[in-house]
Chains A and B, each alone.
Chain A
Amino acid sequence: MTAPSPRALAWRRRGAAFAAGWRQFASQRSGLVGLGLLVVIVLLAILAPVITDQGGLDVTEATGGTMAPPDGEYPLGTDRSGRSVLLLTLWSSRVSLLVGFVATLLSIAIGTVIGILAAHYGRWVSAGLMRVTDFFLVIPSLVLAIALSTVMERGIGTIILAIGLTSWPSAARLVRAQTLTIEARPYIERSKALGGGHLHVITKHVLPAVLPLVFVNTTLAVGSAIVAESTLSFLGLGDPDPMRPSWGTMLRSAWLDSAVLAGAWWYLLPPGIAIAIVVLAFTMCGRALEAVLNPRLREG
């Protein structure tokens, strides 16, 4: 029996830390509920083409009545052009979740890179980067996103860019603060003394230590990205293709079709409730993860 290699030891340690983290996470009911909801919703979104027919989204082939209340055939009623609201809500989850995830990944990636660079290089690099970060942190990101999506072509890509490019500053500040505490530790000095360059220190030591925090931040940020998507789409900056609805574009149609005045609650409620549930689920997961990382937040 030979001694395990350092790499294997490191992995075993990470595995143990992960298991301990999971036990801590699983001990919080709200986090588990959030995770369960997310798994169900993501599965439904992925399986939408399998369990339903996308043809039902085509306005020219819609068979229902105009803004008809729920009945046996259409459990959530129909929209103005006679499409099933249930089908629309299900298919909308695909665009809303996609935009939420990709925009968050973009924003977290930008934030992590800027945060680590600012903390690692310090001095004027830090001063310059944090000046830019403060600027983006302060100005209303929705207003900036509106400007961006007005000058670019309407579509899912534009929305993702608009949200991703305007929502990274809080991640950058968080990562910078964390990197500073990591880099103050002796093992970083040891690594540098042994000849570790910038790239080595950043990728081998700083990044792995920062990642758990980044992960929590991602979980919390997806919710805001989904709300941001719905807001931009509601303002008419979403994807105009009726075959690719999102919860935001649904609510825009409901508003333009005066569903409020018509009292068409079946048209108004589902997309909004869907947004609220998904965002709440991400928030619950994120807060539970936060409590795993920070013992001070644990209840009792």
Chain B
Amino acid sequence: MSDIITPTEDALVEVPPPARGGGTLRYVLTKIGGGLVSLALVIVLGFLLFRVLPGDVVQSMFRGRPATPELMAEAEARLGLNKPLYEQFLDYLWRLLHGDLGESYVFNVPVTDKILERLWPTVLLVGVATLIAVGLGLWLGTRSAWRRGSRFDRISTGVALTLWSTPTFWLGMLLLAATSGLFPTAGLVYSDTPPDFLSQALDVAHHMVLPTVTLVAVIYAQYQLVMRSSLLEEMDADYLTTARAKGLRDDQVRRRHAVPNALLPTVTLVFLHLGMVIAGAVTTETVFSWPGLGLLTYDALRVRDLPLLQGTIVVLAGAVIIMNVLADVLYRVLDPRVRAS
């Protein structure tokens, strides 16, 4: 077994291969092209998933209420489900191009409106949690790697792994139970908060504490572990010996030479793992009734509101794909080694 060269944690760090020939433009265009193919796949999947079982769609609209065959046929015609599949698909594409994702059964409003309304709480929660998690992960990972094998390294790596092994929603429930009364248990703001900006912002911040802590606790581990292993890769590099030889203090060597080089894989990871953060957001928002896209997804699947579910899935997956293309392009800009080749 010893002759196996194992790409271990490198597997976590999807480093884009350096471009062979062609320029930056070609690289960027390839990435954008790949992203477009993925977006098209999401759109097709969103269509197929919810139309392979048309009888089910109509039945779920009546949700248990008795429905005569005539009523079902009428509903089917209204949704256009009696048309051939390709016509339905063209219809779906046409409406998607105009930002029309259909109408929610339950809220009786266009899915697009509902999604736009729920967008910013999710952006706020995911954004703040990601920033904190990245900061915390980089700091802990750097300290762990620099003092590899120390008590700090063992404890912080152990804690990170344990939190990572924990289901997000369970951690949220525990936090709720442990802090009962200290923080609001649901929603974005209290209804009786004065409408001025400061009070509203403070109230949102108060509501945000528990969801943010939950999300950070579950996602920071990956940044810490990757930062740790990518710094460990740099530790034996000759340029660090050079830096020490010219008389730099230990933390100068770390801050100015080692960390910047180890930072790159971790930074790309922020975008690449956004899908995981989104998954965490779905359950966090569900536990804390945070009115974002995740809670909307949960509500949609709870009452089997298929147009709404299709809409949230297409939007969430699409957003992650676009962020990934941005990450690939950003990587190209950030890494001089890739740029130069």
Q: Which positions in A face B, CB cutoff 8 Å?
A: 17-18, 20-21, 131, 134-135, 137-144, 146-148, 150-151, 170, 173-174, 177-178, 181, 209, 212-213, 216, 223, 227, 230-231, 234-237, 248, 251, 254-255, 259-261, 263, 265, 268-269, 271-272, 275-276, 279-280, 283, 290, 292-297, 299-300
The interface bits of chain B over 139-177 (1 if a CB of A lies within 8 angstroms of the residue's CB, else 0) are 000000000110000000000011011111110011011
CB of A272 within 8 A of CB of B174, answer yes
Interface residues of B in 73-106 (CB under 8 A from A): none
Q: Is B282 an interface residue (CB 8 A)?
A: yes
Q: Chain B residues near A263: list those with CB within 8 A.
A: 177, 180
- Shortest beta-carbon distance from B139 to chain A in Å: 22
Given contacts A139-B275, A275-B166, contact A150 B8 (CB under 8 A): no
- Shortest beta-carbon distance from A287 to chain B in Å: 8
CB of A143 within 8 A of CB of B298, answer no
Interface residues of B in 165-219 (CB under 8 A from A): 165-170, 173-174, 176-177, 180, 185
Q: Could you list some 19 contacts between A and B, CB below 8 A?
A: A135-B41, A137-B14, A139-B42, A140-B276, A143-B313, A147-B50, A151-B52, A173-B14, A227-B167, A231-B169, A234-B167, A234-B286, A248-B167, A255-B173, A259-B173, A272-B174, A280-B162, A280-B165, A292-B1
Q: Chain A residues near B304: list those with CB within 8 A.
A: 150
Q: Is B71 an interface residue (CB 8 A)?
A: no
Q: Is B58 an interface residue (CB 8 A)?
A: no
If over half of A's interface residues share one DSSP class (helix, strand or loop), that class is named, otherwise mixed; here it is: helix
Nearest A residue to B316 via CB reads A143
- Shortest beta-carbon distance from B157 to chain A in Å: 10
CB of B169 within 8 A of CB of A234, answer yes
CB of A173 within 8 A of CB of B167, answer no
Given contacts A140-B316, A148-B49, A236-B302, contact A294 B38 (CB under 8 A): no
Q: Which positions in B face A, CB cutoff 8 Å?
A: 1-2, 4-8, 11, 14, 34, 37-38, 41-42, 45, 49-50, 52-53, 56, 148-149, 161-162, 164-170, 173-174, 176-177, 180, 185, 272, 275-276, 278-279, 282-283, 286-287, 297-298, 301-302, 304, 306, 309-310, 312-313, 316-317, 320-321, 324
Sample of 16 further A-B pairs with CB below 8 A, known A139-B38, A140-B275, A151-B50: A18-B1, A131-B37, A134-B38, A141-B279, A143-B279, A143-B282, A143-B312, A144-B313, A147-B45, A174-B11, A231-B283, A234-B167, A235-B283, A236-B301, A251-B173, A260-B173
CB of B167 within 8 A of CB of A230, answer yes
Partner of A297, one of B8, B275, B302: B8
CB of B38 within 8 A of CB of A235, answer no
Partner of A138, one of B174, B283, B297, B320: B320
CB of A143 within 8 A of CB of B317, answer yes
Partner of B279, one of A135, A140, A254, A255: A140
Q: Chain A residues near B1: list those with CB within 8 A.
A: 17-18, 20-21, 212, 292-293
CA distance A137 to B14 in the complex (A): 10
Partner of B11, one of A18, A173, A283: A173
CB of B286 within 8 A of CB of A276, answer no
CA distance A217 to B145 in the complex (A): 24
CB of A142 within 8 A of CB of B279, answer yes
- Shortest beta-carbon distance from A184 to chain B in Å: 11
CA distance A137 to B309 in the complex (A): 21
* Nearest 7 CB-CB pairings of A with B: A142-B279, A279-B165, A140-B275, A272-B170, A139-B317, A294-B6, A293-B6
- Shortest beta-carbon distance from B185 to chain A in Å: 8
- Shortest beta-carbon distance from A135 to chain B in Å: 5
Q: Chain B residues near A231: list those with CB within 8 A.
A: 167-169, 279, 283
CB of B2 within 8 A of CB of A17, answer yes
CB of B275 within 8 A of CB of A227, answer no
Q: Chain A residues near B275: list those with CB within 8 A.
A: 138-141, 143
Q: Chain B residues near A227: list those with CB within 8 A.
A: 165, 167
CB of B167 within 8 A of CB of A275, answer yes
Q: Chain A residues near B317: list those with CB within 8 A.
A: 139-140, 143-144
CA distance A275 to B309 in the complex (A): 28
